[in-house]
Structures are given as C-alpha cells and as structure tokens.
Amino acid sequence: MRYLFLLTVFICFSVNAQVGATMHCGYDFTSYFVVDAHEAGKTENVKNLKVTIVDSLGREVININNIYSWQKSNQPMVFSMNYRVGNDNKPLPPDAVITGKERFFFPYAKDNYLLSVSNKFPAENFSFKIEDIDGKENGGHFKTVIVPLNAYNMYVLCSSESQQAAIKFGRKMNKPIDVVLEKQ
C-alpha cells in the first residue's frame, strides 16, 4: 500500500512538471539588432558598410568568452548583411536570380544589417558605429555615424503575444534602427 501511495505521488509530481514546462522557441536566449542604413530619400540599404558595436570611447567591443553573443567568441561585434537562402537553407550568391521561393536568412529583416546578441545584452552601455570603409563601392564616402543603443532596439523573438500587447505607449519593439547616411 505504501508503494502504491509513493507511486501515485511520483506520477502526480511528474505530470505537474510536464504540464508546467513552457514551450521554447528556436531563438531562446537570443535577440537581434537590425540596422536599416540608407541615404535620405532612398529606401535601399547602402551596401559594404562596416557596422560595429562600440563602447563610450568609440572602441570596438570584443565578445570575450561569448559574454555578449553566442557567436564569434573573442572577436569584435560586427554586423553582417542579411542574405537570401534557398530551399536547402544554403546561402545564395548575391547575383542569384530571384524566383520567389527564396527567403531571407533572418526573416524579420530584409536587406538590413544584423547582429545576434544574447537577451542579457546591456544595450544602454553601448552604441553602434557605421563607417564607409570602401567609398568606391558606394559611389562616394559617407560620414561616420555613431548611434546609441537601447533595449527597445533589440528584436526579442521569443516574447509572447501578451507581452507585445502589454506595450501600449512608446516605441514598439522589433523594428529596424533607421539611420539616414550623409555623404561627406
């Protein structure tokens, strides 16, 4: 009788643990910064820019032991351009013919610059710097821009709809950071 009671208690705790567990998504513990860098009056992004996370002195931030991002340990935190992938989830070359079946690697951004960071990234402590390191490619040099970051700039991908609905005032989350570049 004692074993039957213990078995029943064990099953109850096991079922409670299974029901109480929350669903996880593929982006758990990860957020993204998305930057839309374009010229005034134009909608397409300027290509071949260097976009990096910098500290208050303008120095590149190094991701020491993956403290800020789960990718590229011990390297500077540099944004990359979003790219298209085919049905096989492999990157397509930039000059590939678009047939409509392709999609962007990061589906929440189009041809923007993006950077994966951890959800605990202290955005208020940093800025990002946009530099035109190859003026020939862009038809002229653009001025270097430093923009402060905020927590609301991060794409928090695993939030629930109720969390998003609770945000009634202020800037909405999951929007690209819009930067208008000026030529020198």
Q: What is the pLDDT of residues 97-110, one digit of tens each?
A: 777 777 787 777 78
Indicate the pTM of the whole model.
Answer: 0.72
Determine contact, residues 116/69, Cβ cutoff 8 Å: yes
The pLDDT score that the predictor gives to residue 108 is 74
Query: Domain segments of the chain: what residues?
Result: 25-181
How many CB atoms lie under 10 A from the CB of residue 151? 13
pLDDT digits (tens, 9 = 90+) for 129-164: 998 876 566 666 788 999 999 888 887 766 544 444
